[in-house]
Structure 1
Amino acid sequence: MLSYTFCVIAAVATFLVPCHAQDKCTGILGLPGTPRANELPGRDRGDCLRGEPGPPGLPASFDTALRKVLISLKHRLARLEGVLALNAKITEVGEKILASNGREVNFASALKSCEEAGGTLATPMNEEENKAILGIVKQYNRYAYLGIKESETAGQFTYMNGIPVNYTKWRQYEPNGKGTEKCVEMYTDGGWNDRKCNLYRLTICEF
Structure 2
Amino acid sequence: MLSYSSYMLTALAALLVTCHALQKCPGNPRLPGVPGLPGRDGLKAQSRLQGLLESLDTELILLNLKHRLSRLEGVLALNGKTKEVGEKIFASNGKEVDFASALESCEEAGGTLATPTNEEENKAILSIVKEYNRYAYLGIKEGETSGQFEYINGTPLNYTNWHQYEPNGKGTEKCVEMYTDGTWNDKRCNQNRLIVCQF
Cα distance, 1:90 vs. partner?
A: 1.3
> Corresponding residue for 1:128?
120
Cα distance, 1:120 vs. partner?
A: 0.6
Is 1:57 aligned to 2:54, yes or no?
no
- Identity, in percent, stands at 70
> Corresponding residue for 2:98?
106
Task: Give the secondary structure class of the aligned counterpart of 2:117.
Answer: coil
Tell me which of 142, 154, 169 is aligned to 1:150. 142
Q: How many residues align?
A: 157
Structure 2 letter corresponding to 1:177: G
Distance 1:31 1:114, change over 3 A: same
Structure 2 letter corresponding to 1:57: Q
Q: What are the ranges of 5 or more consecutive residues in structure 1 without an aligned counterpart?
A: 1-10, 12-29, 45-49
Task: Give the secondary structure class of the aligned counterpart of 1:56.
Answer: helix
> Corresponding residue for 1:170?
162
Tell me which of 173, 191, 195 is aligned to 1:199. 191
Cα distance, 1:32 vs. partner?
A: 7.7
Does 50-59 or 129-138 show the bigger shift? 50-59
Tell me which of 79, 85, 88 is aligned to 1:96. 88
Task: Give the secondary structure class of the aligned counterpart of 1:90.
Answer: strand
Task: Give the secondary structure class of the aligned counterpart of 2:93.
Answer: strand
Q: Higher helix fraction: Structure 1 or Structure 2?
A: 2
Q: What are the ranges of 5 or more consecutive residues in structure 2 without an aligned counterpart?
A: 6-26
Tell me which of 157, 163, 173 is aligned to 1:181. 173
Is 1:41 aligned to 2:38, yes or no?
yes
Q: Deviation per CA, 1:92-111, whole angstroms, max 9, x where unpaired? A: 11111110011100000100
Q: In 2, are the aligned partners of 1:32 and 1:53 still within 8 Å (CA)?
A: no
Aligned CA-pair RMSD = 3.7
Cα distance, 1:57 vs. partner?
A: 3.2
The TM-score with structure 2 as length reference comes to 0.67
| Aligned equivalents of 2:121, 2:91: Cα separation in 1 | 13
Q: Deviation per CA, 1:20-71, whole angstroms, max 9, x where unpaired? A: xxxxxxxxxx99868948xx82457xxxxx6894372345996xxx9xxx8x
| Aligned equivalents of 1:59, 1:33: Cα separation in 2 | 15
The TM-score with structure 1 as length reference comes to 0.64
